[in-house]
Chains A and B, each alone.
Chain A
Amino acid sequence: MADETIIDVRDVHKTFISETKRTLWSKLTGRPHVEKRVEVLKGVDLVVHRGETIAILGSSGSGKSTLLRCINKLETIEAGRIYVNGHLIGYEERDGELIAEKASITAQKRTDIGFVFQHFNLFLNKTALGNVMAPLRDVKKLSAAEARNIAVPNLEMVGLADKMENYPSKLSGGQKQRVAIARALAMEPSVMLFDEPTSALDPELVGEVLAVIKKIAQQGTTMVIVTHEMQFARDIADRIVVMDQGVIVEEGPPSRIFTTPEHPKTRALLSRSGILPG
């Protein structure tokens, strides 16, 4: 089944509503408080097949992170559907309406989706090994020995065999991100989502993290990577997805996108990155 669908995002809409704080004055005068609405996703459709590596490109604020966060329900959506491995994420559907599902069910579905954050988000009170073992024990309910047997090879795979007992405060940014990757991978998710995994790193540490991600991609892991590293995207992605202002404007294989982009926004993005002549 080469074409097995892992992620199916259908016509997803997401609006952020930021409410201004109700002041005493607005209460006294009874003036309704202002709410600001920003539609960040305006109908996004995306299908990811098993084993595929997708890179999402787009200018800042185009909604890349939001899309990724919606896929594992770190954000709510107003309309559309997101399926991962056939499961509707975050909601139950009744008579065509989305109804929020129980938090424990969402949690269960999330174990199938690995997420790597820009700022690593390691558990600061645990060692590298402790970070990788924690969800295996707390979520998968494995014994310490079983968790260890899974955690250790994953840390070795990201090249941290000698740093397992280090706390995050004693790891470099690149090492922290590799621990975070091992922690997500150890749960054996169907898909890995990366949100700008190297953007918070010093330039000299970017390479080691990209190398690990490339290695994972080559093992056939299904993944979606939001990145500003154009060369990297071109190198590892099977498909490039370009977002702009809350919609996907263009997608296709890197060989085409990077040479003959069709959409003006893609062209603008690539020439800004120095890949296409301006």
Chain B
Amino acid sequence: MDFINNTLAVFPALLVAVPVVVQLALGAMLLALVLGLLIALARISSIKILRGVATFYLEVIRGTPLLVQLVYIFFVLPSIGVEIEPVPAGILGLGLNYAAYLSEVFRSAILSVEHGQTEAALSLGYTPSKTLWKVVIPQSFVVSMGPIGNYFIAMIKDTALTSVIAVTEILKTANILNSQTFQTTAIYTAAAILYLIISLPLSRVVVVLERKARASG
């Protein structure tokens, strides 16, 4: 019983970190969505240099650990004069990383829209770029909803990595509490449960989104 009471007692202290997690996840997701779409468009563009740059970016991001990327942004960039506060650095690191993965989601979603619809739009007088923005991209967003949701949940869990770059999110807060009270089991159990409480409802939302996307397709 002590264990349960101790764990419950830790929650209020950890809840303080939830707004930071929300800030990190929303900020990084917004960045990842915008940049991801741009990378996806670059990857399918007819301009060779754009394709090359986008592919290079993708390979670098996917070929290195997120943890290393965060450390790089926070500890290495200052040596060339770019100093970024912990939370913005966390948003930047997570956003740049997830942009690469989301770009693959967008790319396959864009390619999944039947070519016939593109031809129909062109035949009706849509310019190529209008066809992309009015016909193809809206439909690829619907297809992407589920995968985007899953990446969002993964990102919430990955915010824990920003604890190494001095962001006082849930894990860092737990670390600090632990160094003060040494209630290791209660503290980290509470932290784990807190992540679960955030991500479980979101998983349900994703399931619903996926069902909706399938129904409209």
Contacts and interface: CB of A to CB of B under 8 A. Distances in A.
A84 to B, nearest CB: 13
Contacts of B139: 123-125
A103 B139 CA distance: 23
Interface stretch (A38-46, A131-139, A211-219, A259-267): A131-139
A68 to B, nearest CB: 10
A124 B134 contact: no
Contacts of B130: 107, 138-139
Contacts of A234: none
Interface in A94-122: 103-104, 107-108, 110-111, 113-115, 117, 119-122
B126 interface: yes
A47 interface: no
Contacts of B114: 121, 124
Nearest to A104: B127
Nearest to A73: B122
Contact of A107 (B120, B122, B134, B217): B122
Contact of B124 (A104, A169, A184): A184
A180 interface: yes
A38 to B, nearest CB: 20
Interface string A168-189: 0100000000001001100100
B19 interface: no
Contacts of B119: 74, 117, 121
B123 interface: yes
A122 B128 CA distance: 17
Given A124-B217, A134-B134, A117 B124 contact: no
Contacts of B128: 103, 107
Given A123-B135, A134-B134, A110 B125 contact: yes
Contacts of B127: 103-104, 107
A120 B120 CA distance: 8
B120 A121 contact: yes
Contacts of A120: 116
A185 B142 CA distance: 29
A232 interface: no
Q: Which of the four size classes fits the interface of chain B? A: 20 to 34
A167 interface: yes
A9 to B, nearest CB: 17
A72 interface: yes
A111 B120 contact: no
B45 interface: no
B179 interface: no
A125 B116 contact: no
B120 A180 contact: yes
The residue in B116, B120, B126, B216 that gathers the most chain A C-beta atoms within 10 A of its C-beta is: B120
B117 A123 contact: yes
A134 B130 CA distance: 12
B124 A187 contact: yes
B125 A139 contact: yes
A121 B116 contact: yes
Contacts of B142: 125
B78 interface: no
B52 interface: no
Contact of A111 (B124, B134, B138): B124
Contacts of A184: 123-124
Contacts of B216: 124-125, 167, 169
The residue in A119, A120, A135, A180 that gathers the most chain B C-beta atoms within 10 A of its C-beta is: A135
5 contacts: A110-B125, A121-B120, A124-B117, A135-B125, A184-B123
Instruction: Kindly list the 7 A-B residue pairs having the minimum CB-CB distance in the complex, ordered from nearest.
Output: A111-B125, A121-B120, A121-B116, A115-B123, A135-B124, A139-B125, A107-B127
Interface of B: 114, 116-117, 119-128, 130, 134-135, 138-139, 142, 216-217
Interface of A: 72, 74, 103-104, 107-108, 110-111, 113-115, 117, 119-125, 134-135, 138-139, 167, 169, 180, 183-184, 187
Given A104-B127, A139-B125, 15 more contacts: A74-B122, A103-B127, A110-B123, A110-B124, A115-B123, A115-B124, A121-B119, A121-B120, A122-B120, A123-B117, A123-B120, A123-B139, A124-B217, A138-B130, A169-B216
